[in-house]
Amino acid sequence: MNSNKLFEGAFPYVDDILALPVEDIDRASAWYRDAFGLNEVERRDQPVPTVILERDGVRIGFAVNGGDASNDGAAILVTDIHRARQEVEANGVETGNWRVDEMDGKKFQVFFVIAPDGLCYYFHQPLESGENS
């Protein structure tokens, strides 16, 4: 197992983790590369302009598909929430709402990022029983 792995999974709020709505593919690709450390792995023009980025085997895609970015985004499961927050902030991105959420009887340390395109990201990591950050 790669101990440097940070991203474990990404789950869309609305429809498709490989087609989150953006207005400009080039701008999106550059921002997510710089902000989240993603690497571009695929680009296509049909049926709509789309770019797929990846980190640690986790793929997130962006498409000029007319969707409403302000009502979409993704939950990103990470291996180390503190490292994720430090990395994102070191890349000049504002994070917010550092808190502990409870879902299905499990606790998660979380924070949010609102990207310039309006997409919202919910970074989260399960907490061990009794752990609070």
Digit-coded pLDDT (tens) for 79-131: 999 999 999 999 999 999 999 999 889 999 999 999 999 999 999 999 986 55
Q: What predicted TM-score, i.e. pTM, was given to this entire model?
A: 0.90
- Is the predicted pLDDT of residue 2 greater than 70, yes or no? no
- Whole-number Å distance between alpha carbons of 64 and 123: 24
Per-residue burial over 67-77, b = 16 or more CB atoms within 10 Å of its CB, e = otherwise: bebeebbbbbb
- Whole-number Å distance between alpha carbons of 82 and 125: 9
CB–CB of 33/51 below 8 Å?
Answer: no
Q: What is the pLDDT of residue 128?
A: 80
- Is the predicted pLDDT of residue 132 greater than 90, yes or no? no
- Is the predicted pLDDT of residue 3 greater than 80, yes or no? no
Q: What is the pLDDT of residue 1?
A: 44
Digit-coded pLDDT (tens) for 33-83: 999 999 999 999 999 999 999 999 999 999 999 999 999 999 999 999 999
Mean pLDDT of the chain: 93
Among 86, 117, 108, 114, CA closest to 9? 108
- Whole-number Å distance between alpha carbons of 21 and 3: 32
More confident residue, 7 or 103: 7
